[in-house]
Amino acid sequence: MELSLLLGEFAVDGRLVTLQPLGNGNVNDTFLAVYRNTFTETQLVVQRINSNVFPVPEAIMSNMHKITSHCHAKLQREMDSSDRVWQMPRIVQTNDGKDFVKDDNGDCWRVITLIPSATAHDRAQSAEHALECGSVLGHFHHLLSDFDPSTVQDPLPGFHVTPLYLKAYDDVLSRDLAAARLDASMEARRCAKFIAQRRGLANVLADAEKRGDIVRRMVHGDPKVNNIMIDVFTAKGTAMIDLDTVAPGLVQVDFGDALRSICNPAGEEETNLAKVKFDEDLCHAFCKGYMAEAADFMTDGDRAMLYDSIRLLPFELGLRFFTDYLAGNVYFKTRHPEQNLNRARVQFRLCESIEARERSIRALLDSF
Ligand code: GN1
Ligand code: MG
């Protein structure tokens, strides 16, 4: 089915004038759709949910419906006492009141509102930008702090369960393709060594959870810098986007994932590893923004695991990229065959940079 025909099923006013690729997501396919009538224009986000990654797209949409309804209502209630107009995308329904349509291949398509006059950067631009990212994530956690986690379905079983990623890596290692790739590349062998030296790290949050030091709450799951929208007029943070992975989880995972993205201004695709460093000034700014919003729900047990989460998340993402490289690039979208290997090297370099700065990062965290 033609995409423009499929879009006809959604309840949108005006005529579709253009449809263009949008953003740099590694998983879903995303487009900007512009509709016009005589007086006005509507810009919307159109997405095909990657069913290789999300086994039950219907669950994603049902979760998104519940989560956005809860947050929209709370945003309305808190509007008068808020220092800004926080935003959150809304699902555009089909003509018969559904949240998505299926195409001839069985793929799910959805339309959501675009956050207007806002932009998301692929890398942190400044300390002010990092602070805004912290405020947006902290506010997002606040918005969902009274949402009942038992009402959502697990969007992605095993997501951010680091010991399971380690197991998946071990399984892939036994395949011929992995052996061939390791044989052919010194960089790949270096990555394997890096992982072998840190296997214990994979359990750090899982163990804290077992001890009861930290508990599951609603989290975003993918709070990287380009999922945080910044208002172009005020330079203030205004929304979290990409809500597919919102589910019960550990706030430490969101915290570590946001920082591995924000404090690496070289970005995830840098090929010159000398440029990849954990930037403590950006970390300080992010924490200032985050803690101002999160102070009321952070416990001492939560705080005690923050350094470990900063170290763990680049390790976990590097492990995921490297496993995908060894498996033949089946999960993350790639433009060239070595891209996942390079992405893994970047995350492992970042992890080393964090380890080298452990004392000063811990001192920085203790100052909040
Ligand atoms: C994926 O699609 P995107 O770019 O928002 C991934 C994240 C990774 C990120 C790394 C569902 O997110 O976990 O941190 O790539 N999302 C999923 O760029 O696996
Ligand atoms: Mg995502």
Q: What is the pLDDT of residues 124-137, one digit of tens each?
A: 999 999 999 999 99
Residues 163/203, Cβ–Cβ less than 8 Å: yes
What is the full DSSP assignment across 308-333? HHHHHHHHHHHHHHHHHHHHTS-SS-
> Do the domain assignments include residue 40?
yes
Using alpha carbons only, what angle is made at residue 313 by residues 178 and 119, rounded to the nearest 5 degrees?
Answer: 110
Q: Could you report the per-residue pLDDT of 165-204, keeping only the tens digit for each?
A: 999 999 999 999 999 999 999 999 999 999 999 999 999 9
Q: Which atom of ligand 1 is nearest to the CA of 27?
A: 2
pLDDT tens string 234-255: 999 999 999 999 999 999 999 9
| Ligand 1, atom nearest to 227 Cα | 5
Same structural domain, 259 and 335:
yes
Mean pLDDT of the chain: 96
**230 and 315 share one domain:** yes
DSSP conformational letter for 94: B
For 4-17, how does the pLDDT look when each residue is reduced to its tens digit (9 = 90+)?
889 999 999 999 99
Q: What is the pLDDT of residues 37-80, one digit of tens each?
A: 999 999 999 999 998 899 899 999 999 999 999 999 999 999 99
The yes-or-no verdict on residue 160 having pLDDT over 80 is: yes
Closest Cα to atom 17 of ligand 1: 27
- The residue whose CB lies within 8 Å of the most ligand 1 atoms, and thus the one to mutate among 162, 222, 309, 332, is 222
Of 224, 313, 219, the closest CA to residue 261 belongs to 224
Residue closest to 250 by CA, chosen among 119, 127, 131, 162: 162
Of 114, 142, 176, the residue that ends a domain is: 114
100 and 134 together in one domain: no
Number of domains in the chain: 2
Decide whether any atom of ligand 1 lies within 6 Å of the 53 Cβ. Answer: yes
Distance CA 316, CA 344 (A): 10
Q: Of the bound ligands, which one is closest to the alpha carbon of residue 332?
A: 1
Query: Ligand 1 centre and the CA of 245: distance in Å?
Result: 9
Do 201 and 321 reside in the same domain of the chain?
Answer: yes
Give yes or no: residues 146 and 280 share one domain.
Answer: yes
Q: What is the pLDDT of residues 207-222, one digit of tens each?
A: 999 999 999 999 999 9
245 Cα nearest atom in ligand 1: 11
How far is the C-alpha of 313 from the C-alpha of 17, rounded, in Å? 41
Q: Is there an atom of ligand 1 within 6 Å of 245 CB?
A: yes
Ligand 1: residue whose CA is nearest its atom 10: 26
Same domain, 303 and 164: yes
pLDDT at 1: 65
Quick check: helix, strand or coil at residue 240?
strand
44, 113 contact by CB (below 8 A): yes
On whether both 243 and 324 belong to a single domain, the answer is: yes
At residue 36, does pLDDT exceed 90? Answer: yes
